[in-house]
Homo-oligomer: A and B are copies of this chain.
Amino acid sequence: MTSDITWHNQIFQGDACTTLQHLPDSSIDLIVTSPPYADQRKNTYGGVHPDEYAAWFMPIAAELHRVLKPTGSFVLNIKERVVAGERHTYVLELILELKKQGWLWTEEYMWHKRNSFPGKWSNRFRDAWERCLHFTKERQFKMNQDAVRVPVGDWAESRLKNLSKTDKRRDESKVGSGFGKNISNWVGRDLVYPTNVIHLATECGNRNHSAAFPIGLPEWFIKLFSSPGDVVLDPFMGSGTTAIAAHRLGRYYVGTELKLEYIEVAQQRLNAEKTDISPLFEEIHGS
């Protein structure tokens, strides 16, 4: 997939605040990112102190707001860490600050990590979920719900087997509830809309890179909040999982990353994607 626009499928090295200035206003359809958690990657990123996290993030968020299209979405995968035995509040403060900046806190999706990090503590269990905060600029935004439908629950099998009996009766008699009125519409439908809880296992077997999140996560949001040919931005690209997901799904990617080591890993992974014809790649781009 190529484009005449020079910053399509580009990776910029530097801090997000600076590099994002290369992008024009309202040029991005979707932002999906998992920023460095507060004090979590001290060795690689220098670490942001939890108390300063929201203040550190806001200038970047201002740039993100500028480059995002009015119908675009900003998905922020984040989870507060434990400080002195309790959950720190920097994510809560970040949400409040982003709202002051003009963002709408449209929804909070829940990523349920089916295989959470092992460990045992006396005052808490293993942390098996993270927030995927969904911000938008407007109440109306692009959302392709059909792209992420999931197989229907078991109840449908038994329900739809002997459909003819009850549904004929329903049409003749009056049913007050309004429920089940359109059961006949469900014939042949095996897909239903998902909820705001996303069940995905973390990818733990990767040796080349420490993927912050499984590729299924950006894939889900990219399918949901963008269309083929759109531009997906990750201002904290890391090893490039969001970019790879965007490329596989026929979107352009733009990435920003501070560390050269990460950029090299990301570029290698993206090159491998473009040469290796994976089944999924072929399915999207082929024929």
Chain A contact residues, CB within 8 Å of chain B: 84-87, 89, 92-93, 95-96, 99, 104-108, 110, 112, 114, 116, 120, 122-129, 139-141, 143, 145, 150-151, 153, 165-166, 169-172, 175, 193-197, 199
What's the Cα separation between A127 and B195 when bound, in Å?
6
What's the Cα separation between A110 and B110 when bound, in Å?
9
Tell me if A96 and B104 are in contact (CB < 8 A). Answer: no
List the B side residues contacting A199 at CB < 8 Å. Answer: 169-172
Tell me if B110 and A129 are in contact (CB < 8 A). Answer: yes
Q: Which of B87, B143, B151 contacts A123 (CB 8 A)?
A: B143
Tell me if B105 and A196 are in contact (CB < 8 A). Answer: no
Tell me if A128 and B196 are in contact (CB < 8 A). Answer: yes
The A contact surface, by secondary structure, is mixed
What's the Cα separation between A87 and B112 when bound, in Å?
20
List the B side residues contacting A172 at CB < 8 Å. Answer: 114, 199
Tell me if B89 and A194 are in contact (CB < 8 A). Answer: no
List the B side residues contacting A165 at CB < 8 Å. Answer: 151
Known: A112-B197, A171-B197, A199-B170. A104 touches B125 (CB 8 A): no
Most buried by B among A110, A112, A139, A153: A112
Tell me if B106 and A87 are in contact (CB < 8 A). Answer: yes
What's the Cα separation between A112 and B153 when bound, in Å?
16
What's the Cα separation between A108 and B125 when bound, in Å?
11
List the B side residues contacting A196 at CB < 8 Å. Answer: 124-129
Most buried by B among A128, A151, A175: A128
Instruction: Give the residue name and chain of the B residue nearest to A92 (CB).
Output: B92
Between A and B, 9 residue pairs with Cβ closer than 8 Å are A106-B123, A107-B123, A110-B110, A112-B171, A114-B175, A123-B143, A127-B195, A128-B195, A151-B166
What's the Cα separation between A150 and B173 when bound, in Å?
14
Closest Cβ of chain B to A85, distance in Å, is 4
Tell me if A197 and B95 are in contact (CB < 8 A). Answer: no
Closest Cβ of chain B to A92, distance in Å, is 4
List the B side residues contacting A175 at CB < 8 Å. Answer: 114
What's the Cα separation between A199 and B99 when bound, in Å?
31
Tell me if B195 and A116 are in contact (CB < 8 A). Answer: yes
What's the Cα separation between A86 and B165 when bound, in Å?
40
Closest Cβ of chain B to A25, distance in Å, is 23
Shortest 5 CB-CB contacts between residues of A and residues of B: A128-B195, A85-B139, A151-B166, A92-B92, A128-B197
Closest Cβ of chain B to A78, distance in Å, is 13
What's the Cα separation between A170 and B125 when bound, in Å?
24
Closest Cβ of chain B to A127, distance in Å, is 6
What's the Cα separation between A165 and B112 when bound, in Å?
19
Instruction: Give the residue name and chain of the B residue nearest to A196 (CB).
Output: B125
